[in-house]
Amino acid sequence: MTATDFPRTLWIGLPAYNEESSIPSLFSRFREALKEQPMHYRVVLYNDGCTDGTVAEARKWEGILSVEIIGRPENRGLGEGVRRLVEHAVAHGGPDDALILMDCDDTHHPRQFAALIQALRDGADVAIASRYRRGSQIAGVSLFRQTLSLGATVLFKLLHPLRGVLDYTCGFRAYRLSLLRRAAERYGDGLVKERGFSCMVELLLKLGRVQARFAEIPIDLRYDLKQGPSKMDVGGNTLRLLRKMWGWRLRGMA
């Protein structure tokens, strides 16, 4: 197939926990962004034990978008959602497909799908929407949080350098399914073991071990559009992640 034919199917994975208020605006953005893309697509929402109307809101779009809902009745954390969405795409997709994982809180904009897909067409196996590339736009994030993230990124790079990667934790990424299938063959059920947001770093490092080629595009991060408070303790999670990464360095990420 030619580069312009890739991907045959675009899988869009949404790990979701109580995002009822974000679904209408996010899915409207999907409709606008995807009508400009010639490939088939499938929006897969992972229900991580939602106790609000997230699933009901998503079902309203089943006749408008290609929507599928998977998941469990109990909340098990971001890592479980990422693992299940990767497994689902690998099990049901083809080698010429791609998976985009993104947050379900409307902070990641679907108009960036085109740039992520183009990075894969240009040869990358993983394309990351990065906060640290020229041209990135970040709204609604405090200076303290941005400074903390930048300092942590410097340490991430020192502990586990990956060529082409500056943003280790952003969850807005595109993956070739052929790469994810290769990683799944090596790691099996252990491809994603972390429960919290450290799973994003874990997955990145393990893909690096199977010779993934990385690229980054500047992100348009819109925390000013987020409906409701953040569910993440950024400072505590960052410190815990740094401790984990130091342990991974000492043991070797296998």
> Quick one: DSSP state of residue 214?
E
- Asked if the model's pLDDT at residue 79 lies above 90, the reply is yes
Query: What percent of the chain has a predicted confidence (pLDDT) above 90?
Result: 69
Contact 70, 13 (CB under 8 A): no
Q: What is the CATH number of the domain that holds 95?
A: 3.90.550.10
Q: Is the dihedral of CA 131, 132, 135, 141 positive or negative?
A: positive
Q: How far apart are CA 23 and CA 98, in angstroms?
A: 22
> What pLDDT is stored for residue 236 in this prediction?
55
Band of pLDDT at residue 245, cut at 50, 70 and 90: low
Output the six-digit token pair for 33.
């962004």
Domain residue limits at 9 = 3-251
Query: What percent of the chain has a predicted confidence (pLDDT) above 70?
Result: 87
> What pLDDT is stored for residue 154 in this prediction?
81
Q: Lowest-pLDDT range, 7-11, 96-100, 173-177, 223-227?
A: 223-227
Query: What's the mean pLDDT in 36-65?
Result: 94
Model confidence over 97-144: pLDDT tens digits?
999 999 999 999 999 999 999 999 999 999 999 999 999 988 867 777
Output the six-digit token pair for 158.
């020192």
Q: Give the DSSP H/E element, type plus range, for residue 14.
A: strand 9-16
Query: What's the mean pLDDT in 152-177?
Result: 90
- Backbone region of residue 194 per phi and psi (left: phi > 0; alpha: psi in -120 to 50; beta: other values): beta
> What pLDDT is stored for residue 102 in this prediction?
98
pTM score: 0.89
Output the six-digit token pair for 82.
């990422």
Query: What's the mean pLDDT in 36-59?
Result: 94
Q: Judge residue 247's burial from the number of C-beta atoms within 10 Å of its C-beta, 0-12 exposed, 13-18 middle, 19 or more buried.
A: exposed
Q: Give the contacts of 22 (CB within 8 A, at least 6 positions apart).
A: 104, 105, 106, 226, 227
Name the more confident of 184 and 160.
184
Q: Lowest-pLDDT range, 159-168, 196-205, 224-233?
A: 224-233
Q: What is the number of domains present in the chain?
A: 1
Band of pLDDT at residue 181, cut at 50, 70 and 90: very high
> What pLDDT is stored for residue 131 in this prediction?
93
